[in-house]
Amino acid sequence: MNNDTISAAPTAIRNANTRKKAMIRIPATKMTACIVQISAEEGFTRGAVRHKGNGKEFPDVSLKYLGKKKDPYIAVIRRISKPGLRVYSDHREIPKILGGMGIATSPTSRGLITDREARHEKIGGEISCHIW
């Protein structure tokens, strides 16, 4: 049983990429749904479809691969702020991931936003994960 559901989504995606799975099912929470939605909007995944089973909802995330060798499109997906060590950043100090090629996600009162949106709206806060 995983108590940190925010870490469950990046870990499941990373493990599925290692096994070259086409689709992965992750536990549904508002935060994991936002992570999946942002990764699809930024082009790291193909998208997700909600699926109900055993009275629970699960997003089925469709992963992207490159070429015949099926190299994962997501090279690294990493949880930054953890329950034991929270990481906060001012909007001026939010890191640019690979010079803007990757994204950092930040939960705010308006929902989960990317590093570019946080810099544009001048909103700092917790850095939840990096994707590149």
Mean pLDDT value across residues 81-93: 95
Burial class (CB in 10 A: 0-12, 13-18, 19+), 76: middle
Mean pLDDT value across residues 101-125: 95
State yes or no: pLDDT of 83 exceeds 60: yes
Q: What are phi and psi of 25, to 5 degrees?
A: -110, 125
Cα–Cα distance measured from residue 127 to residue 19, given in angstroms and rounded to the nearest whole number: 28
Q: Which of 46-58 are b and which e, b meaning 16 or more Cβ less than 10 Å from the residue's Cβ? A: eebeeeeeeeeeb
Taking the model in full, what pTM does it have? Answer: 0.88
Instruction: Reduce the DSSP state of residue 40 to 3 states and report it.
Output: helix
Question: What residue type is assigned to position 111 of the chain?
Answer: G
Write down the pLDDT at residue 2: 65
Write down the pLDDT at residue 77: 96
User: Which pLDDT tens digit goes with each residue over 5-58?
Assistant: 889 999 999 999 999 999 999 988 999 999 999 999 999 999 999 988 888 888
Average pLDDT, the chain: 93
Question: Tokens at residue 132, please?
Answer: 């590149």
Instruction: Reduce the DSSP state of residue 92 to 3 states and report it.
Output: coil
Parallel, antiparallel, or unpaired: how do β-strands 77-79 and 103-108 relate?
unpaired
Count of C-beta atoms within a 10 Å radius of residue 23: 13
Per CATH, domain 5-131 is 3.30.1490.10: yes
Residue 1: pLDDT band (50, 70, 90) is low
